[in-house]
Amino acid sequence: MKHIEKGVGLMSAPRDFIRDLNADNFSAGLVAGIFGLSAGIIHISAGTAAGLPQEFTLLWVISYLMINGLFGLFMPAYYRLPLPMANSIPGALLFAAIIPIVGLNEALGATLIAGAISLVVGLAGMMSMVMRLIPMPIVMGMVAGILLKFGTNMVMPLQNAMLPAVIMILSFFMAARYLRRVPPLVVALLVGVAYMAFFGADFSTVEFSIKFPEFIMPTFTLEAFLAYGLPLSLILVGMETPAGVGLVKGMGYKSAPANAITAVGGFGTMISAFFNLHSTCIAAPMTGICSGPEAGSHDKRWVAAVIVGIIFVVAAPFYGFVFSLIEIMPSYFIAIIAGLALLRVIGSAMYITFSGKHEVGAMFSFLIAVSGIQILGIGSSFWALVLGVGLSMLVEFKDFEFTRRVNDKSLTDEPAA
């Protein structure tokens, strides 16, 4: 455990949460929580496309919210940093696709092994080395590429839903300009809800239901591990942690507990394997929302991440009801709110990507992440880091920190003339 970073602790967390809670971090946490709830639609869509039973996909999302919500309460509270926990979306798509091929129990067995690998990497302190090998401009190039779609999705409704899009976007900027005491995200959220209520949203299809995660025993096969477990472990270690850590550092925090994030994510993934869930990890888009300027002062943004965890845990048993509510909302509603929440984060990521060293590697990392390509069944975010670092080592080797350290040491070791 010596490689796991020390945090502030949990004893005073409830008191500090109440002390630091304000309108800014509450609104950011609310928006991030709504975004996380809406991400369940991705799971259900992936499950439906793979021909998985609706009962399974609903339990999958309920486990995603309950388990990751619990870990999402612990991590930001212990470290007093905006570290919301969720699951890997690329991992979710891979999970849904592999179940019809190898079977659910076998896929969960591979999940368990992937979690164990992530746990060992974190406990051994290897993430510090991984983060040194992946320079910040390349990490932020990948992050900017991932988040860019949220910005484009925000403006796309101007094409087919111009009036509500203009009203919501303008309300955000008008609130930022004239209502200094009211978070702009809250104003945009309320204006959007009011618009839909005024134009007659149909609530007749809303259904109330309660379900909890169900235990299942994983089964281990080499085929499932090679096809799914190994790629998932690479995604968790090589993509999810660097993206989350990069966002936290990019928002002005000096350090982020990379080893702890990886180890806790691995432990959470191992638990997830017994409850129809494929992973636990830091949530990059929600980290962007919780750690961004809209969440208020630096030392209080951790509260937003805790609020996400609370929303997840409370909403999990009722997700069938929550999902029916989300279905009522037009798709542009979540797209606009998420885009507005991430607007300044995207700008910061772009600035870090293109204003320093590793220009070629950072550019290719950005372009690969934007492209959405898949190679060997692994998504573009992972390959953005791998190929971005590889290309930068090829043409910009002198920009790496370890080469500068070697050069500095060689200079200091030279004998005096």
Q: What is the pLDDT of residues 85-118, one digit of tens each?
A: 998 877 887 788 788 888 999 999 999 999 999 9
pLDDT for position 416: 47
- Close Cβ partners of 70 (under 8 Å, ≥ 6 residues apart): 309, 313
Q: Token pair for residue 297?
A: 């002062």
CA dist., res. 64 & res. 279, Å (int): 8
As for how many domains the chain has, the answer is 1
Q: pLDDT tens across 262-318, in order?
A: 999 999 999 999 999 999 999 878 898 898 888 888 899 999 999 999 999 999 998
The CA–CA distances, whole Å, from 411 to 237, 262, 337 equal: 35, 36, 53
Report the C-alpha gap between 124 and 130 in whole angstroms. 12
Let me know: does 292 contact 344? Beta carbons within 8 Å.
yes
Identify whether 264 is part of a domain: yes
Domain for residue 63, yes or no?
Answer: yes
Count helices and strands (H / E) in the chain: 22, 2
Backbone angles phi, psi at 278, to 5 degrees: -95, -20
Band of residue 410 on the pLDDT scale cut at 50, 70, 90: very low
> For position 326, what pLDDT does the model report?
67
Alpha-carbon distance of 87 to 65, in angstroms, equals 9
Taking the CB of residue 245, how many other CB atoms lie within 10 A of it? 27
Helix (H, G, I), strand (E, B) or coil at 6: coil
- Residues 54-58 have a mean pLDDT of 84
In a domain, 355, yes or no: no
Parent domain of 83: 13-349
Residue type, 230: L
Question: Is the residue at 373 inside a domain?
Answer: no
Residue 412 within a domain: no
Containing 97, the helix (H) or strand (E) segment is helix 89-102
Whether residue 19 has pLDDT greater than 90: yes
**What pLDDT, on the 0 to 100 scale, is given for residue 411?**
42
Instruction: State yes or no: pLDDT of 80 exceeds 60.
Output: yes
Q: CA 70, CA 84: separation in Å to the nearest integer? A: 10
Any domain includes 306? yes
For residue 319, what pLDDT is reported? 84
Q: What is the pTM of this model?
A: 0.72
